[in-house]
Amino acid sequence: MPSFSAHDGTTLAYRVFGEGPPVVCLPGGPMQDSLYLGDLGGLSAHRQLIMLDLRGTGESAIPEDAASYRCDRLVDDVDCLREHLGLDRMDLLAHSAGANLAALYVGQRPERVGKLALITPSVMAVGITITGDVRRGTAQLRRDEPWFPTASAALEAIVAGKATTDSFQAVAPFFYGCWDEAARAHRAAEDGQKNKEAAAVFGAEGAFDPDTTRAALARFASQVLLLAGEVDLNSPPRAVAEFAELFPHAKLVIQPRAGHFPWLDDPDGFVATTAAYLE
């Protein structure tokens, strides 16, 4: 894998898929190996995808300073990648928790971003609250699934603050549009792809300043795509719609029957929407 050096000397790696104008892709997790993104359902047939392994994940080195895992401190890593690629401006795609990093990057360096695509984004960086009732309402869309009773009971435990490790395992089907063999394999690989120490630091105190970030996004002049999965329990469409309202030029797309990983649920539909936006 190609690599580059961050400002503090940490070696960071990235994967490259496809050819053509590059799109820098920021993974979620938080702090998960970019391997889980694959080639985003075939998006690499339309654009070159530059998949960054954030510090301490995937093939990137573990930094000397664990505090550098905090989301706001990762902004410099993204900019080092841009400089390494020789790009004055870059198109940026971020999934889930990676959307927090993308939002902070836009807030600090808006002139360095062309198009911005936020896929089933986390909303921590902009201070949007997702209530238990919103999650319950989203979950009810799956009430006819055979796994629903067990997963719903686990969700209630999580919302009530009584979650166990088993609870988080049991709600996994809610994150996929179809809880089939491919989804199970994708979920099973997740734990081995995450840096749990880094994830604990990612959103630590001081990482986010929602008021400042919201003000910066309101001034962002470029087009933005926000894509939500219709049945995504993690990033429900209502929350993603609220996120979209923070930008002056945003397009909200809700992918039917998709969960948190829409390129897995309907690759053709996801690629058609995202590629058309990135043209």
User: Is 220 within 8 Å of 85 (Cβ atoms)?
Assistant: no
> What strands, in cross-sheet order, belong to the sheet with 250-255?
3-5, 11-17, 48-52, 22-26, 90-95, 113-119, 224-229, 250-255
Q: Tell whether omega for the bond before 30 is within 30 degrees of 0, i.e. cis.
A: yes
Element (H, E) at 22: strand 22-26
Report the alpha-carbon angle 88-250-22, nearest 5: 30
Q: Are strands 3-5 and 11-17 parallel, antiparallel or unpaired?
A: antiparallel
Cα 157 → chain centroid: 25
- Angstrom distance (rounded) from CA 209 to CA 229: 26
pLDDT per position in the chain (279 positions), as tens? 999 999 999 999 999 999 999 999 999 999 999 999 999 999 999 999 999 999 999 999 999 999 999 999 999 999 999 999 999 999 999 999 999 999 999 999 999 999 999 999 999 999 999 999 999 999 999 999 999 999 999 999 999 999 888 999 999 999 999 999 999 999 999 989 999 999 999 999 999 999 999 999 999 999 999 999 999 999 999 999 999 999 999 999 999 999 999 999 999 999 999 999 998
